[in-house]
């Protein structure tokens, strides 16, 4: 997949296998997984398998999560972007907007900046009719970001025993 999204402070680009150590740093941190089932990765091999799956999504669906890189330092912040989601909502498939950052980058507005860029890419470039997103009801930061970028609360659902807020947003350009 040949895509590069730039914001004021960030570059969003496709995953590469060389992202494995950075993603392992993020996904092995238990604090990152508090609202994600409390199941941090235990090995670099798990991360490499995840990267391969995302790269396969690029081929299968023309979309997938993207690595977030700080423009000024080249640091790997985490990931953000769209994904064709087929598991989270068992009653339908949808394009999901998501993000995950290394703990040291929390609270600096990077997730919001990357989420806005992802939303805009989905609507303007991919011409998606609608984007969905989900957040654990107790994850205040994630729910705040989704509302801030214009996602509309559209009910709740349960995934793996956890209550989640459901958000949708229709493409204003169609």
- Residue 163 to residue 154: CA distance in whole angstroms: 13
Report CA 148 to chain centroid distance, whole Å: 15
Identify whether the C-beta of residue 83 lies closer than 8 Å to the C-beta of residue 65.
yes
Span 66-116, pLDDT tens digits: 999 999 999 999 999 999 999 999 899 999 999 999 999 999 999 999 999
State residue 163's pLDDT score: 96
Report CA 44 to chain centroid distance, whole Å: 20
How crowded is residue 8: how many other Cβ atoms within 10 Å of its Cβ?
8
Q: What is the set of domains in the chain, with CATH numbers?
A: 5-170 (3.40.630.30)
**pTM (global) more than 0.75:** yes
Span 130-143, pLDDT tens digits: 999 999 999 999 99
């Amino acid at each position: 997949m040949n895509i590069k999204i730039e914001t004021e402070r960030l570059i969003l680009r496709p995953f590469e296998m060389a992202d494995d150590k950075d993603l392992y740093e993020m996904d092995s941190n238990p604090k990152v997984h508090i609202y994600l089932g409390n199941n941090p990765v235990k090995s670099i091999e798990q991360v490499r398998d995840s990267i391969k799956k995302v790269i396969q999504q690029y081929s299968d669906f023309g979309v997938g999560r993207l690595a977030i890189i700080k423009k000024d330092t080249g640091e790997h912040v985490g990931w953000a972007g769209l994904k064709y989601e087929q598991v989270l909502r068992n009653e339908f498939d949808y394009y999901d907007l998501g993000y995950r950052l290394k703990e040291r980058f929390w609270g600096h507005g990077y997730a919001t900046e990357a989420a806005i860029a992802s939303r805009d890419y989905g609507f303007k470039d991919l011409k998606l009719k609608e984007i969905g997103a989900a957040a654990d009801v107790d994850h205040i930061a994630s729910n705040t970001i989704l509302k801030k970028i214009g996602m509309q609360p559209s009910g709740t659902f349960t995934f793996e025993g956890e209550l989640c807020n459901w958000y949708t947003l229709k493409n204003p350009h169609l």
